Chain A
Amino acid sequence: MSAPLITVLNGGTQTTVQDSGRPGYRHLGIPRSGAADRLSFAIANHLVGNEWATPALECALGGLHLRFERKTLIAISGAQMWAQVQGMNVDTNRAVEVEAGDILTLSYARAGCRSYIAVAGGLQATEFLESVSTYLPASLGGIEGRALKAGDTLYSLNAVSQGARTLPTGYAPHLSGHAVLRASSGPEFDLLSAESRRYLFTTPFIATPATDRMGSRLRGDRIATDKSFAMTSSPLLPGTLQCPPDGRPILALADGHCTGGYARGLHVIQADQWLLGQIAPGMKISFRRCFDAEAPDILQTRNAVWSTLIPDFSF
């Protein structure tokens, strides 16, 4: 093995190695995992000349300190975090050269939740079912299946890099303290009370501290099912809002459980699922109703815009 590329000085709140995930195994209880915000992850990789799905770091909420042991090209995308190299501010959404010995620090997330740090050539990590995505509950993938901690060393994957690239002005996704997610009604939408059905698409919710890669517990107007509704455990997808009897819905994210026993109230459209990865505790969440006929057009337009810039990328 060659010399390490990165030494972790502080792992931050929760930093993991992620790629595009391991789809196709939910029937075995294995969630897709992968970058919670697929778009920002792809942008970071693109800027350093990598293929978009190359393994990179996902840093939730900040606090990450890294020392580079060799000269390399990096890019940071996603949540708005104050990033510095050797104490000097560096731009996000731009490729930056770092020298051997340089220290990168990410402070806290001012808007959004997760930053992606890509390095030219990608990062080595443990593979499970064709993906190196870290899935913390089962200690799969990544670096020993866990979040990074001080003293960890990371190695380059030495994948092909095309060199620094730029993001055209206006392309960087704008993240604010209010995420508006377009969604369609879920399978059990009609079993919610009439009042709840109205609330779901009109009143904002707040993401509680019970927010991680698995899901986000929301606070807001209580969403109740009609009468005493008991459901058999059933298959569940990321982006589904489950509505348990206590009235506080749970939004399933990238590492979300593969089955659930609560009413599936609504489901975020494919084109907006990347934004689920930027939900931070305290953030305001609104759902806008998206009708069946519009969703394919939204997805097609979004895919067309981004795949022109980032080869092979799709939402």
Chain B
Amino acid sequence: MNDLHPDIRAYGDHAVLVEWGADGFDADISDRVHALAARLRKKKAFIEVMPGYDSLVASFDGAQMNAASARRRIKDAIVREARSETAVDGRLVEIPVSYGGADGPDLYAMADRIGKSPEAVLALHTGRDYRVCMMGFIPGFAFLSDVDPLLQHPRHATPRAVVPAGSVGIANWQTGIYGLESPGGWQIIGRTDVAMFDADRDRPFYVEAGDRIRFVAQ
């Protein structure tokens, strides 16, 4: 497995998994995932084209396509992609966040554990731009690129039953925004009032995979 030759294998009888296998976050691999996703989506041959951090799943109708031809199409798209100079440079979206307090119940404990002030944690989190690597698991949930190594914290052993919509959290090296209220195990450090998902809005999704995000402390 390397950048140009990801592992392409079956995911059941009607999907293919393309896996680059990064150890932690790899910006270069993330670019390749999104370039491939964009190319496959343009061709409309697949039902779902789902980018991940270092992998991509493409599902198809087994009556219309077989696994071998699905794999061939993907291999072909990867080779073409490698030849082209597609730069994935999504929009830059600013997200205002209220850190700590009731909006970020895990901020103080996290600051304590790393021996920093809450302000320093906040500065580390807002100190870099993030790439939207993947959307899901619920509508509008944005999985972002890696946080500063000091901020890396494991998920709670027992997930919270309710995490409010707009909550900004950390899980290991990932940071992310909850699109809707849901159960969740991430370390919650803040919350935004921006509705990440609103079915009644012209653009229901505030951000899409490929966009970049800058958190701004409120």
Give the interface of A toward B (CB within 8 A).
23-24, 26-30, 128, 137-140, 145, 183-184, 186-187, 230, 232-237, 239-240, 257-260, 264, 267-271, 290, 292, 295-296, 299-300, 303, 314-315
Chain B residue nearest to A291 (CB atoms) is: B13
B188 within 8 A of A: no
Contact call A269/B9, Cβ cutoff below 8 A: no
Whether A28 and B208, one on each chain, are in contact in the complex, defined by CB atoms closer than 8 angstroms, is: yes
Query: Smallest CB-CB separation from B46: which chain A residue?
Result: A24
Q: Which B residues, 161 to 217, have Cβ-Cβ distances below 8 Å to chain A?
A: 172, 174, 179-180, 182, 197, 199, 205, 208-209
A138/B54 contact (C-beta < 8 A), A237-B11, A269-B12 known: no
Give 1 or 0 for each of B69-104: 1 = CB within 8 Å of chain A CB: 000000000000000000000000000000000000
**Other-chain residue from B17, B19, B50 in contact with A27 (beta carbon distance below 8 A):** B50
> Bound complex: CA of A30 vs CA of B56, how far in Å?
16
Contact between chains at A24 and B48 (CB < 8 Å): yes
Check A237 against B138 for contact (C-beta < 8 Å).
no
Asked if A27 contacts B48 (CB within 8 A), the reply is: yes
Q: In angstroms, how far is the closest chain B Cβ from the Cβ of A36?
A: 17
One of A184, A233, A234, A260 near B12 (C-beta < 8 A): A184
Residues of A within 8 A of B53 (CB): 232-234
CB neighbours (8 Å) of A137 from chain B are: 138-139, 180, 182
Q: Which A residues are CB-close (under 8 A) to B50? A: 26-27, 235, 258-259
B12 touches A183 (CB 8 A): yes
Chain A residues, Cβ within 8 Å of B174: 232-233
- Chain A residues lying within 8 Å of B197, measured Cβ to Cβ, are 29, 138
Residues of A within 8 A of B182 (CB): 137
**In the bound complex, do residue A269 and residue B13 qualify as a contact, i.e. CB atoms below 8 Å apart?**
yes
Please, which residue of chain A has its CB at the minimum distance from the CB of B54? A232
CA distance in complex: A117, B60 (Å): 29
Q: Within 8 Å CB of A24, what residues of B?
A: 47-48
Say yes or no: B15 contacts A237, CB within 8 Å.
yes
Instruction: Sort A-B residue pairs by CB-CB distance and give the 5 closest, nearest first.
Output: A267-B12, A258-B136, A295-B13, A235-B50, A257-B137
